[in-house]
Amino acid sequence: MNARRVSAQRPETPERKQYHLEVKEGDVAETVIIPGDPQRVRKISSAWDDFTEVAVHRQFVTHTGRYKSVPISACSTGIGGPGTAIVVEELANVGANTFLRVGSCATLKENIEIGDLIISTGAVRLEGTSKQYVRPEYPASASYEVILALIEAADSLGIKYHLGTSASTDSFYLGQSRPGYDGYTQSFSEILINDLQQANVVNFEMEAATLFTLGNIYGFRTGAVCAVYANRVYDEFEVKGEAEVIKCGNEAVRILHEMDKEKEQNGKRYWIRGL
Protein backbone atom coordinates (compact mmCIF):
# COMPACT_ATOMS: atom_id res chain seq x y z
CA MET A 1 0.00 0.00 0.00
CA ASN A 2 1.17 3.53 -0.80
CA ALA A 3 2.47 5.03 2.44
CA ARG A 4 1.54 8.50 1.17
CA ARG A 5 -2.09 7.58 0.44
CA VAL A 6 -4.43 10.53 1.04
CA SER A 7 -7.95 9.87 2.31
CA ALA A 8 -10.77 11.35 0.24
CA GLN A 9 -12.52 12.12 3.54
CA ARG A 10 -9.67 14.37 4.66
CA PRO A 11 -7.84 15.77 1.62
CA GLU A 12 -4.56 17.00 3.05
CA THR A 13 -0.89 16.18 2.50
CA PRO A 14 1.06 13.98 4.94
CA GLU A 15 2.38 17.27 6.38
CA ARG A 16 -1.29 18.23 6.96
CA LYS A 17 -1.26 21.01 4.37
CA GLN A 18 -4.93 21.73 3.71
CA TYR A 19 -6.30 21.08 0.21
CA HIS A 20 -7.98 24.43 -0.45
CA LEU A 21 -6.08 26.89 1.73
CA GLU A 22 -2.64 25.25 1.37
CA VAL A 23 -1.81 26.08 4.99
CA LYS A 24 -0.41 23.70 7.60
CA GLU A 25 0.06 23.67 11.37
CA GLY A 26 2.14 26.63 12.47
CA ASP A 27 1.09 28.79 9.51
CA VAL A 28 -1.80 30.58 11.20
CA ALA A 29 -2.57 32.19 14.54
CA GLU A 30 -5.37 31.01 16.81
CA THR A 31 -7.38 34.13 15.92
CA VAL A 32 -8.11 34.80 12.26
CA ILE A 33 -9.85 37.68 10.52
CA ILE A 34 -11.83 36.33 7.57
CA PRO A 35 -12.86 38.88 4.93
CA GLY A 36 -14.65 37.75 1.80
CA ASP A 37 -12.52 39.77 -0.63
CA PRO A 38 -9.00 38.36 -1.20
CA GLN A 39 -7.71 41.90 -1.84
CA ARG A 40 -8.90 42.96 1.61
CA VAL A 41 -6.40 40.59 3.25
CA ARG A 42 -3.46 42.83 2.36
CA LYS A 43 -5.41 45.92 3.45
CA ILE A 44 -5.89 44.22 6.82
CA SER A 45 -2.31 43.01 7.24
CA SER A 46 -0.78 46.33 6.11
CA ALA A 47 -1.75 47.74 9.53
CA TRP A 48 0.12 44.99 11.41
CA ASP A 49 3.60 45.22 12.92
CA ASP A 50 4.72 42.68 10.33
CA PHE A 51 3.24 39.88 8.24
CA THR A 52 4.07 37.00 5.94
CA GLU A 53 1.96 35.80 3.03
CA VAL A 54 1.79 32.11 3.90
CA ALA A 55 -0.48 30.88 1.10
CA VAL A 56 -2.36 31.95 -2.03
CA HIS A 57 -4.64 29.37 -3.64
CA ARG A 58 -7.85 29.93 -5.59
CA GLN A 59 -9.88 32.58 -3.71
CA PHE A 60 -8.04 31.95 -0.46
CA VAL A 61 -5.25 34.36 0.50
CA THR A 62 -3.67 33.87 3.94
CA HIS A 63 -1.39 36.24 5.84
CA THR A 64 0.06 35.74 9.34
CA GLY A 65 1.85 38.28 11.51
CA ARG A 66 1.52 40.41 14.63
CA TYR A 67 -0.71 43.37 15.42
CA LYS A 68 0.46 45.43 18.40
CA SER A 69 2.55 42.37 19.33
CA VAL A 70 -0.50 40.05 19.21
CA PRO A 71 -0.36 36.99 16.90
CA ILE A 72 -2.93 37.36 14.12
CA SER A 73 -3.88 35.89 10.75
CA ALA A 74 -6.22 36.89 7.94
CA CYS A 75 -7.70 34.56 5.33
CA SER A 76 -10.20 35.40 2.58
CA THR A 77 -13.29 33.24 2.14
CA GLY A 78 -14.63 34.49 -1.18
CA ILE A 79 -18.34 35.21 -1.39
CA GLY A 80 -20.89 33.16 0.51
CA GLY A 81 -21.33 30.23 2.83
CA PRO A 82 -19.51 27.43 0.97
CA GLY A 83 -16.16 29.22 0.96
CA THR A 84 -16.68 30.35 4.55
CA ALA A 85 -17.27 26.77 5.69
CA ILE A 86 -14.12 25.59 3.90
CA VAL A 87 -12.07 28.30 5.58
CA VAL A 88 -13.42 27.51 9.06
CA GLU A 89 -12.91 23.76 8.62
CA GLU A 90 -9.38 23.98 7.25
CA LEU A 91 -8.15 26.73 9.56
CA ALA A 92 -9.52 24.78 12.53
CA ASN A 93 -7.64 21.71 11.29
CA VAL A 94 -4.37 23.63 11.71
CA GLY A 95 -5.07 25.28 15.06
CA ALA A 96 -7.37 28.31 14.68
CA ASN A 97 -10.24 28.68 17.14
CA THR A 98 -11.48 32.29 16.84
CA PHE A 99 -12.90 33.65 13.59
CA LEU A 100 -13.86 37.28 12.95
CA ARG A 101 -15.60 38.23 9.72
CA VAL A 102 -14.75 41.73 8.43
CA GLY A 103 -16.89 42.62 5.45
CA SER A 104 -19.58 44.76 3.86
CA CYS A 105 -23.36 44.71 3.93
CA ALA A 106 -26.65 46.45 3.09
CA THR A 107 -28.78 47.87 5.88
CA LEU A 108 -32.56 47.58 6.10
CA LYS A 109 -32.85 50.40 8.64
CA GLU A 110 -33.64 54.07 8.08
CA ASN A 111 -31.39 55.26 10.88
CA ILE A 112 -28.23 53.46 9.71
CA GLU A 113 -26.08 55.42 7.27
CA ILE A 114 -23.70 54.30 4.55
CA GLY A 115 -20.24 53.97 6.09
CA ASP A 116 -21.54 52.97 9.53
CA LEU A 117 -20.55 49.59 10.98
CA ILE A 118 -22.94 46.81 11.94
CA ILE A 119 -21.86 44.25 14.52
CA SER A 120 -23.92 41.08 14.10
CA THR A 121 -25.30 39.44 17.22
CA GLY A 122 -26.86 36.61 15.20
CA ALA A 123 -28.02 35.76 11.72
CA VAL A 124 -31.13 34.55 9.92
CA ARG A 125 -30.06 31.42 8.03
CA LEU A 126 -31.31 32.23 4.53
CA GLU A 127 -28.24 30.54 3.02
CA GLY A 128 -27.90 26.82 2.33
CA THR A 129 -24.48 25.87 3.67
CA SER A 130 -25.40 25.82 7.36
CA LYS A 131 -28.33 23.54 6.55
CA GLN A 132 -25.80 20.93 5.37
CA TYR A 133 -24.55 20.82 8.98
CA VAL A 134 -27.64 20.98 11.19
CA ARG A 135 -31.42 21.38 11.13
CA PRO A 136 -32.70 24.87 10.23
CA GLU A 137 -34.06 25.59 13.72
CA TYR A 138 -30.50 25.58 15.14
CA PRO A 139 -29.44 29.15 16.05
CA ALA A 140 -26.72 31.11 14.30
CA SER A 141 -25.41 33.35 17.07
CA ALA A 142 -22.14 35.18 17.51
CA SER A 143 -19.88 34.67 20.52
CA TYR A 144 -20.42 37.21 23.29
CA GLU A 145 -16.69 37.80 23.82
CA VAL A 146 -16.22 38.70 20.15
CA ILE A 147 -19.26 40.99 20.21
CA LEU A 148 -17.89 42.77 23.29
CA ALA A 149 -14.44 43.09 21.72
CA LEU A 150 -15.93 44.58 18.55
CA ILE A 151 -18.03 47.04 20.57
CA GLU A 152 -15.01 48.16 22.57
CA ALA A 153 -12.90 48.43 19.42
CA ALA A 154 -15.43 50.53 17.52
CA ASP A 155 -16.14 52.72 20.54
CA SER A 156 -12.47 53.35 21.32
CA LEU A 157 -11.80 54.25 17.68
CA GLY A 158 -14.72 56.65 17.55
CA ILE A 159 -16.44 54.71 14.76
CA LYS A 160 -20.23 54.81 14.50
CA TYR A 161 -21.65 51.31 14.96
CA HIS A 162 -24.90 49.42 15.48
CA LEU A 163 -25.80 45.96 16.82
CA GLY A 164 -28.43 43.60 15.55
CA THR A 165 -29.51 40.48 13.74
CA SER A 166 -28.27 40.00 10.18
CA ALA A 167 -29.78 38.00 7.33
CA SER A 168 -27.31 35.83 5.40
CA THR A 169 -28.22 34.89 1.84
CA ASP A 170 -26.78 32.83 -0.99
CA SER A 171 -27.87 35.32 -3.65
CA PHE A 172 -26.79 38.95 -3.97
CA TYR A 173 -29.69 39.59 -6.33
CA LEU A 174 -33.08 37.86 -5.79
CA GLY A 175 -31.93 36.55 -2.41
CA GLN A 176 -31.57 40.17 -1.29
CA SER A 177 -34.72 41.45 -2.98
CA ARG A 178 -32.94 42.78 -6.08
CA PRO A 179 -34.23 41.94 -9.57
CA GLY A 180 -32.16 39.56 -11.66
CA TYR A 181 -31.24 39.84 -15.31
CA ASP A 182 -33.77 41.67 -17.46
CA GLY A 183 -35.90 42.49 -14.39
CA TYR A 184 -36.57 38.87 -13.41
CA THR A 185 -38.14 38.53 -9.97
CA GLN A 186 -40.37 36.34 -7.79
CA SER A 187 -43.06 37.28 -5.29
CA PHE A 188 -41.07 35.93 -2.31
CA SER A 189 -38.16 38.18 -3.26
CA GLU A 190 -40.35 41.26 -3.56
CA ILE A 191 -41.73 40.92 -0.01
CA LEU A 192 -38.52 39.78 1.66
CA ILE A 193 -37.26 43.16 2.86
CA ASN A 194 -40.58 44.07 4.43
CA ASP A 195 -40.76 40.70 6.21
CA LEU A 196 -37.25 41.10 7.59
CA GLN A 197 -37.88 44.68 8.65
CA GLN A 198 -40.96 43.53 10.56
CA ALA A 199 -38.69 41.06 12.37
CA ASN A 200 -36.18 43.84 13.23
CA VAL A 201 -33.39 42.43 11.03
CA VAL A 202 -30.77 45.13 10.45
CA ASN A 203 -28.84 44.06 7.35
CA PHE A 204 -28.17 41.68 4.49
CA GLU A 205 -24.80 39.94 4.09
CA MET A 206 -23.68 36.50 2.89
CA GLU A 207 -21.36 34.75 5.36
CA ALA A 208 -22.30 35.30 9.02
CA ALA A 209 -24.94 32.57 9.35
CA THR A 210 -22.56 29.86 8.15
CA LEU A 211 -19.76 31.20 10.36
CA PHE A 212 -21.90 31.44 13.49
CA THR A 213 -23.53 28.04 12.98
CA LEU A 214 -20.21 26.25 12.60
CA GLY A 215 -18.80 28.18 15.54
CA ASN A 216 -21.63 27.03 17.78
CA ILE A 217 -21.37 23.43 16.59
CA TYR A 218 -17.61 23.20 17.07
CA GLY A 219 -17.27 25.46 20.11
CA PHE A 220 -15.28 28.21 18.37
CA ARG A 221 -15.55 31.94 18.99
CA THR A 222 -17.04 33.80 16.05
CA GLY A 223 -18.18 37.30 15.23
CA ALA A 224 -18.84 39.63 12.33
CA VAL A 225 -18.59 43.34 11.68
CA CYS A 226 -19.54 44.88 8.34
CA ALA A 227 -19.34 48.32 6.80
CA VAL A 228 -22.62 49.51 5.31
CA TYR A 229 -22.25 49.96 1.55
CA ALA A 230 -25.98 50.14 0.78
CA ASN A 231 -29.14 51.45 2.39
CA ARG A 232 -32.10 49.55 0.98
CA VAL A 233 -34.67 51.89 2.52
CA TYR A 234 -33.34 54.91 0.61
CA ASP A 235 -32.01 52.93 -2.38
CA GLU A 236 -28.47 54.26 -1.95
CA PHE A 237 -25.12 52.56 -2.62
CA GLU A 238 -21.56 53.73 -1.97
CA VAL A 239 -18.37 51.88 -1.10
CA LYS A 240 -17.60 53.56 2.21
CA GLY A 241 -16.30 52.45 5.59
CA GLU A 242 -13.78 49.78 4.53
CA ALA A 243 -10.87 51.43 6.34
CA GLU A 244 -12.97 51.78 9.50
CA VAL A 245 -14.19 48.17 9.52
CA ILE A 246 -10.61 46.94 9.06
CA LYS A 247 -9.39 49.07 11.98
CA CYS A 248 -12.24 47.73 14.12
CA GLY A 249 -11.43 44.11 13.25
CA ASN A 250 -7.73 44.42 13.96
CA GLU A 251 -8.31 46.21 17.25
CA ALA A 252 -10.89 43.62 18.32
CA VAL A 253 -8.26 40.89 17.94
CA ARG A 254 -5.98 42.80 20.31
CA ILE A 255 -8.83 43.20 22.81
CA LEU A 256 -9.67 39.49 22.62
CA HIS A 257 -6.03 38.72 23.38
CA GLU A 258 -6.26 40.91 26.51
CA MET A 259 -9.46 39.12 27.54
CA ASP A 260 -7.74 35.76 27.15
CA LYS A 261 -4.77 36.88 29.26
CA GLU A 262 -7.11 38.08 32.01
CA LYS A 263 -8.99 34.76 32.00
CA GLU A 264 -5.75 32.80 32.16
CA GLN A 265 -4.38 34.92 35.03
CA ASN A 266 -7.59 34.48 37.02
CA GLY A 267 -8.25 30.84 36.19
CA LYS A 268 -11.54 31.61 34.50
CA ARG A 269 -13.08 30.07 31.40
CA TYR A 270 -15.28 33.04 30.47
CA TRP A 271 -14.53 36.75 30.51
CA ILE A 272 -16.54 39.15 32.68
CA ARG A 273 -16.15 42.87 33.38
CA GLY A 274 -13.74 43.56 36.21
CA LEU A 275 -12.04 40.18 35.94
Range of the domain at 42: 31-265
pTM: 0.95
90 in catalytic set = yes
Q: Is residue 236 part of a domain?
A: yes
Output phi, psi for 118, to 5 deg. Answer: -120, 120
Q: Is residue 11 part of a domain?
A: no
Q: Which of 40, 125, 232, 257 is catalytic?
A: 232
pLDDT at position 1 is 41
Q: Which of 20, 30, 89, 162 is catalytic?
A: 20
Q: Is residue 2 part of a domain?
A: no
CA angle (100, 103, 104) in 5-degree steps? 150
Q: Is residue 157 part of a domain?
A: yes
Q: Which of 90, 127, 145, 242 is catalytic?
A: 90
Q: Is residue 145 part of a domain?
A: yes
How many structural domains is the chain composed of?
1
- The CATH number of residue 156's host domain is 3.40.50.1580
User: Quick check: 66 and 48 in contact, CB under 8 A?
Assistant: yes
Q: Which of 42, 89, 162, 178 is catalytic?
A: 178
pLDDT at position 274 is 84
Q: Is residue 5 part of a domain?
A: no
- Length reported for the chain: 275
20 in catalytic set = yes
User: Quick check: 62 and 73 in contact, CB under 8 A?
Assistant: yes
Q: Is residue 1 part of a domain?
A: no
178 in catalytic set = yes
pLDDT at position 88 is 98
pLDDT at position 16 is 86
pLDDT at position 11 is 84
Q: Is residue 41 part of a domain?
A: yes
In tens digits, the chain (275 residues) has pLDDT values of 455 678 888 888 888 899 899 999 999 999 999 999 999 999 999 999 999 999 999 999 999 999 999 999 999 999 999 999 999 999 999 999 999 999 999 999 999 999 999 999 999 999 999 999 999 999 999 999 999 999 999 999 999 999 999 999 999 999 999 999 999 999 999 999 999 999 999 999 999 999 999 999 999 999 999 999 999 999 999 999 999 999 999 999 999 999 999 999 999 999 999 87
